[in-house]
Amino acid sequence: MKKITIWASVLIVFLAFVPSKLFAANSKVGTTAYSFLKIDVSARSTAMGGAFVGLSDDESALYFNPAGLIQIEQRSFFTTYNNYLTDIQSGFLGYVHPYSENTRLGASIYYFNYGSFTQTDSLGNVLGTFGAADFALALSFVRSLNSQISFGATGKFIYEKIESYSSDALALDLGVIHISKDTRTRFGLVGQNLGVQLKGFTKSHKDDLPTAVKAGMSHQMRELPLTVALDAAKPFDNDVFFNLGGEFTALKPLYLRVGWSSFGKNSKTDSDKDNWAGFAAGFGVTWRAYRFDYAYSSYADLGGVHKISISGGI
């Protein structure tokens, strides 16, 4: 319990040193480009409410906190299919390579396909159809300072296209993770999507990237077969939000998960379904060197999202 208190205090101190003006209602809500980069890529983490920055102990650390990849000890793959809102389709494919005892390399691709839209003129006459899509290519590098502290970086090339218009950008994720000597407690810190848009949809305008600073902690209970995780996140284009999740491990190879994110308040519409906004649940099953994960998350009246992930050694 003493260690949990210490790490909770570290998280509070981190938040205290974030400039106070960043906690105010943000006038830039919804103004950044490449919003798909904000959407979780892992069924396991989604079921835990998105609380994964301080855990990051599987291949999805490629997205959450590259420093966590140091915990991957064999060549591994990770892939996700996400049936998102309004039938938007997305996926993520990643690979982690243990280059040496204290170095990990990774590569990933993340895509969003928004489907087909009807194109009309100013009078409403149908002209045809057009599509829209996003994708990001990324390379990760992780190095451990010692058995407890590791640093990681992920460089990204981001591309977006709508009809005949396109834009692209370069971004960087920088992360650190600290693992306690007994490996039951972890603390993580990451800055995501630090970068610049190279080309906007028009020559005269460029958008900001969805930059965010996140801190998280996780703890594996000694008395219970339960891992709990807590994240605090500050997007530069939105308000602070918190993620809380748990993973119940007593039924191995079956894992049960539940989570909640305060970001769910943005989905509320004063309807009967508002109480479920931000909640998520799911499960995972391991077989030999592979794991299958499923998650369902609620967006109130907007609907629910199903997500499936598969990972394992190569």
Distance in angstroms (rounded) separating the CA atoms of residues 59 and 289: 13
**Tens-of-pLDDT digits for all 314 residues of the chain?**
454 444 444 554 445 445 444 444 566 677 799 999 999 999 999 999 999 999 999 999 999 999 999 999 999 999 999 988 777 889 999 999 999 999 999 999 999 998 888 888 888 889 888 889 999 999 999 999 999 999 999 999 999 999 889 999 999 999 999 999 999 999 999 999 999 999 998 888 899 999 999 999 999 999 899 999 999 999 999 999 999 999 999 999 999 999 999 998 877 777 766 778 889 999 999 999 999 999 999 887 778 899 999 999 98
Count of CB atoms situated within 10 Å of the CB of 105: 15
Tokens of 88: 């938007």
Q: Cα separation of 246 and 257, whole Å?
A: 6
Three-class SS state of 266: helix
| SS3 call for 82 | strand
Residue 191 lies in a domain: yes
User: Scanning the structure block, which residue is given the tokens 């205090």?
Assistant: 9
257 strand-pairing partners: 247, 282
**Per the domain annotation, does 283 fall within a domain?**
no
pLDDT of residue 250: 95
pLDDT score for 85: 78
Is 215 inside any structural domain? yes
Q: Provide the residue range defining the domain that includes 90.
A: 2-18+30-115+130-239
Q: How far apart are CA 169 and CA 198, in angstroms?
A: 5
How would you class 42 by CB atoms within 10 Å of its CB: exposed for 0-12, middle for 13-18, buried for 19 or more?
A: buried
How high is the pLDDT of residue 272? 67
φ, ψ at 29 (rounded to 5°): -55, 125
Residue 107 inside a domain? The answer is yes
Q: Is residue 310 a part of any domain in this protein?
A: no
pLDDT score for 17: 47
Over pLDDT 90: what percentage of the chain? 71
- Checking 114-117 for CB contacts under 8 A at 24+ apart, the result is 114/88, 115/87, 115/88, 115/89
Q: Is residue 280 part of a domain?
A: no
Q: Which two tokens stand for residue 311?
A: 């990972």
Q: For position 24, what pLDDT does the model report? A: 47
- CATH at residue 83: 2.40.160.60
Residue 253 placed within a domain:
no
* pTM (two decimals): 0.88
DSSP 110-151: EEEEEEEEEEE-TT--EEEEEEEEEEEEEEEEEEESSSSEEE
User: Residue 211 in contact with residue 193, Cβ under 8 Å?
Assistant: yes
Q: Is 68 contained in some domain?
A: yes
Provide the CA 237 distance to its chain's centre, in angstroms. 16
What is the domain count for the chain? 1
Find the DSSP H helices in 206-280.
none
> What is the C-alpha end-to-end distance of the chain, expressed in Å?
38
Element housing 298 (H / E): strand 290-298
